[in-house]
């Protein structure tokens, strides 16, 4: 099992359709949280923020912010449930959205809830 | 049904044109998000957890078949094939694209609908009794007044920048199905000793983080004074309502802080000081509006329908549905059909485009082309001949809409919660589903009888948990969901706010807790006593003991 990498990723909503997206290593925005770039150092997080603000000016995304997260075995898990929900889509509609498309996060609704 | 006049048409079309231009400018980068946000919210477009959400107003919860079909079309063409009927008789679409929104608003305007004033600090969609115009106990149909208030409050320049949002509910029946005591203003029609009808004006009710039952500021207001008097209330609120703290800005806080006697004095002084022009115009307008709500051409039918009785005898499932899901109609031989949008394991209030079309077809064929949305997130066919009920039930069965749980434990109000909502702190829908599964046994549900279980996914209380007989509030405890249970709430004429029972529960424990509470009720109830009656008689003690005995 590979080591757990903890840090911060940056997320936003794509302007034209509002879909929750995550900034990737290549500087694009992905619908999949697993492709997010994780900033371990504060300087790196600040650089991500600046990049996101530029993309807001370019009308690619809106409302960007940093989120605590960790990468384990190539999957990314946000620290807070709200962010895991954003990455996953509605847990009550596994037939559509990111879960159905395989873009969901490292988070499943506990059984029986 | 009300039809737009030229002014309605004009302002809705103009707003859509304006919004198209504003959205284009936002997409080009000419407007920043900070500049654009208030503009999109004024047109009902929110940015939620996963995407934009469009909230469409359904004035006083009344829809024609044509309008319902248009909602189906929007769900199919611009969303993911479904919509969510809300606790304010509106509909929300969860997966809307900003770039499509102006087209959707045009499609709505084609059928005399819009999303104006479904957000922001203005007077929101006026809600009413979902049985309006049909209920056996009704004094008069409240919808003409609902429509008068819609016209008065739409784009009203003085009341479009209030301290906070403002919700008005109207009922024309003594049995309050519109929750008028927990609205900013609630209006209840009643008769005085002389037999005249007038309005009880209730102010300062509300849910949210500071739940309160409203207070009566005028016991009996003649109909023609309604707009003038409401304007006086709005002016007092606009003047004295707090704007420094959004959590203290609702009118209920003002009424509470200055006291209801002082508030009443201020309103009466404002009302008395206003020039009282003739109310002739309002009376004429109300008469014009009322003509649109004239009762449909009911047939003269016997009270008893042999076909209906025979169908019940030969189909027990139909008999159960008929027992639970029909309401008493004011006209002999007719019934009110309540279509439960709470199938076991389903999402409270959700309907697919196909289900919307089938309900529209049924309304067109069997219910004078009318549908209603209830604040409990169900759909109503208000005027159905008893002889047609079996055919309707069969059609509902075929499309998964025949859940026979109206008003029972499975008929749960639930906000979208953390599955969709950006404000939520916990999920609501999976909790509703787990409770519905627990009471899937229809005999147990029938044994428990009338019960309102309401679930909110945050303190804002869109799921009306404070007024649930059993209320469930989802909270965030160190990044994990947990749920607080309240008992004894009610939004009916004897309204009350529920009391927290004790420590909260993890999500997977909630259904067990609800079952324990309901088993305790079954153990202690007197013959014919509903849950709320038992709770009010015994208090929280036996429920607490049962629930926390082993803790």
Mean predicted confidence (pLDDT) in B37-65: 96
What spatial distance separates the first Cα and last Cα of chain B, rounded to whole Å? 55
> What's the confidence (pLDDT) of residue B24?
98
A59/B26 touch (CB, cutoff 8 Å), yes or no? yes
Question: What count of CB pairs under 8 Å joins A to B?
Answer: 90
Q: What is the pLDDT of residues B264-286, one digit of tens each?
A: 999 999 999 987 767 777 788 88
Question: CB–CB of B263/B217 below 8 Å?
Answer: yes
Token duo for residue A99: 């879960």
Which among B52, B420, B480 is the nearest to A90, CB-wise? B420
Q: What stretch of H or E contains A15?
A: none
Nearest residue in B to A13, CA atom: B51
Window B:485-524, CB contacts with A under 8 Å:
507-508
Q: What stretch of H or E contains B65?
A: helix B65-78
Give Rg (Cα) of chain B.
23
> What's the confidence (pLDDT) of residue B7?
87
Token duo for residue B470: 């059993």
Is the CA virtual torsion B205, B165, B228, B196 positive or negative? negative
| CATH superfamily for domain B142-292 | Sulfite Reductase Hemoprotein, domain 1 (3.30.413.10)
Nearest residue in A to B428, CA atom: A113
Residue with tokens 């003038």: B228
Residue A110 binned pLDDT confidence (cut-offs 50, 70, 90): very low
pLDDT at A108 over 60: no
Q: What is the pLDDT of residues A48-104, one digit of tens each?
A: 999 999 999 999 999 999 999 999 988 999 999 999 999 999 999 988 878 777 777
Instruction: Check if B6-110 and B306-398 are the same fold.
Output: yes
> What's the confidence (pLDDT) of residue A111?
40
Token duo for residue B185: 């203003």
What is the average pLDDT score of chain B?
96
Q: Which residues contact A63 (CB under 8 A, 6 or more apart)?
A: A12, A13, A56, B33, B47
SS3 A79: coil
- Of B18, B48, B44, the C-alpha closest to B31 is B18
> What's the confidence (pLDDT) of residue B5?
86
Percent of chain B with pLDDT over 70: 99
- Closest chain B C-alpha to A61 CA, distance in angstroms: 10
Q: What is the pLDDT of residues B113-139, one digit of tens each?
A: 999 999 999 999 999 999 999 999 999
ipTM of the complex: 0.93
SS3 B497: coil
Q: How many residues does chain A have?
A: 113
Maximum mean pLDDT: which of A73-77, B294-298, B439-443: B294-298
Phi, psi of B29 (to 5 degrees): 95, 5
Report the distance separating Cα B178 and Cα B137, nearest Å: 14
CATH of domain B413-548: 3.30.413.10
Query: CB count, 10 Å around CB of B450?
Result: 15
Mode of pairing for the β-strands spanning B168-171 and B127-128: parallel
B476/A81 touch (CB, cutoff 8 Å), yes or no? yes
> What's the confidence (pLDDT) of residue B527?
96
B432 touches chain A (CB under 8 A): no
Q: Was domain B6-110 assigned CATH 3.90.480.20?
A: yes
Residue A112 binned pLDDT confidence (cut-offs 50, 70, 90): very low
Residue with tokens 């069969």: B394
Question: CB–CB of B191/B172 below 8 Å?
Answer: no
- Closest chain B C-alpha to A44 CA, distance in angstroms: 25
B419/A86 touch (CB, cutoff 8 Å), yes or no? no
Which among A63, A82, A92 is the nearest to B33, CB-wise? A63
Which among B49, B434, B480 is the nearest to A85, CB-wise? B49
Out of 3.40.50.40, 1.10.10.410, 3.40.50.300, 3.90.480.20, the CATH code matching B306-398 is 3.90.480.20
A90 touches chain B (CB under 8 A): yes
B40 touches chain A (CB under 8 A): no
Alpha helices by DSSP H, B305-376: 306-314, 316-325, 353-366
Spell out which residues of chain A touch residue B480, defining contact as CB-CB under 8 Å: 81
> What's the confidence (pLDDT) of residue A94?
86
Domains of chain A, residue spans: 5-100
Report the distance separating Cα B186 and Cα B190, nearest Å: 13
Report the distance separating Cα B53 and Cα B40, nearest Å: 11
- Distances B508 to B322, B361, B438, B514 between C-alpha atoms, Å: 33, 40, 12, 11
B139 touches chain A (CB under 8 A): no
Token duo for residue B225: 């004074």
Which among B28, B51, B94 is the nearest to A17, CB-wise? B51
Domains of chain B, residue spans: 6-110, 142-292, 306-398, 413-548
């Amino acid at each position: 099992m590979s080591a757990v990498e903890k840090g911060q990723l940056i997320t936003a909503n794509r302007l034209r359709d509002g879909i929750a997206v995550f900034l990737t290593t290549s500087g694009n925005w992905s619908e999949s949280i697993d492709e997010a770039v994780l900033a371990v150092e504060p300087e790196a997080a600040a650089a991500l923020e600046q990049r996101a603000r530029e993309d807001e000016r370019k009308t690619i995304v809106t409302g960007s912010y940093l989120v605590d997260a960790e990468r384990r075995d190539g999957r990314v898990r946000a620290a807070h449930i709200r962010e895991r929900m954003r990455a996953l889509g509605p847990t009550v509609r596994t037939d559509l959205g990111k879960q159905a498309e395989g873009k969901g996060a490292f988070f499943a609704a506990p059984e029986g809830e | 049904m009300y039809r737009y006049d030229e002014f309605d048409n004009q302002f809705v079309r103009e707003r859509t044109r304006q919004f198209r231009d504003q959205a284009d400018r936002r997409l080009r980068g000419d407007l920043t998000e900070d500049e654009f946000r208030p503009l999109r919210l004024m047109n009902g477009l929110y940015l939620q957890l996963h995407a934009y959400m469009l909230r469409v107003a359904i004035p006083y919860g009344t829809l024609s078949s044509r309008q319902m079909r248009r909602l189906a079309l929007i769900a199919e063409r611009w969303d993911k094939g479904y919509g969510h009927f809300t606790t304010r008789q509106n509909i929300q679409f969860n997966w809307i694209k900003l770039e499509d929104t102006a087209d959707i608003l045009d499609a709505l305007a084609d059928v005399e609908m819009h999303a104006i004033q479904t957000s922001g600090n203005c007077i929101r969609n006026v809600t009413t009794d979902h049985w309006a115009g049909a209920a056996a106990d009704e004094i008069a149909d409240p919808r003409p007044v609902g429509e008068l208030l819609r016209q008065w409050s739409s784009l009203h320049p003085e009341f479009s920048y209030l301290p906070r949002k403002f919700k008005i509910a109207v009922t024309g029946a003594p049995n309050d199905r519109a929750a008028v005591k927990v609205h900013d203003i609630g209006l209840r029609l009643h008769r005085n000793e002389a037999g005249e009808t007038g309005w009880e004006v209730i102010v300062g009710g509300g849910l949210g983080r500071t739940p309160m039952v409203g207070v009566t500021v005028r016991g009996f207001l003649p109909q023609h004074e309604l707009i003038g008097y409401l304007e006086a209330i709005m002016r007092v609120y606009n003047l004295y309502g707090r704007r420094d703290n959004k959590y203290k800005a609702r009118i209920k806080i003002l009424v509470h802080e200055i006291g209801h006697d002082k508030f009443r004095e201020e309103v009466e002084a404002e009302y008395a000081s206003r020039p009282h022009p003739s109310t002739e115009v309002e009376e004429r307008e109300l008469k014009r509006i009322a003509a649109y709500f004239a009762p449909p051409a009911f047939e003269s039918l016997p009270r008893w329908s042999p076909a209906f009785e025979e169908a019940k005898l030969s189909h027990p499932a139909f008999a159960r549905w008929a027992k639970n899901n029909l309401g008493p109609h004011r006209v002999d031989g007719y019934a009110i059909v309540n279509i439960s949008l709470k199938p076991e394991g389903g999402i409270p209030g959700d309907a697919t485009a196909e289900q919307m079309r089938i309900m529209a077809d049924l309304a067109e064929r069997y219910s004078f082309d009318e549908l209603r949305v209830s604040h409990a997130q169900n759909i109503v066919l208000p005027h159905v001949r008893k002889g047609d009920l079996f055919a309707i039930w069969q059609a509902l069965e075929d499309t998964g809409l025949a859940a026979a749980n109206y008003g029972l434990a499975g008929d749960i109000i639930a906000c979208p919660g953390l599955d969709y909502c950006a404000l939520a702190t916990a999920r609501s829908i999976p909790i509703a589903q787990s409770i519905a599964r627990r009471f899937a046994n229809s005999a147990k549900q029938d044994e428990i009888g009338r019960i309102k279980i309401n679930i909110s996914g945050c303190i804002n209380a869109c799921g009306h948990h404070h007024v649930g007989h059993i209320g469930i509030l989802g909270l965030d405890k160190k990044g994990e969901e947990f749920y607080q249970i309240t008992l004894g709430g009610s939004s009916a004429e004897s309204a009350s706010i529920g009391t927290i029972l004790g420590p909260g529960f993890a999500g997977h424990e909630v259904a067990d807790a609800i079952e324990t509470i309901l088993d305790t009720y079954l153990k202690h109830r007197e013959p014919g006593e509903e849950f709320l009656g038992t709770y009010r008689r015994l208090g929280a003690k036996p429920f607490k003991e049962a629930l926390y005995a082993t803790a």
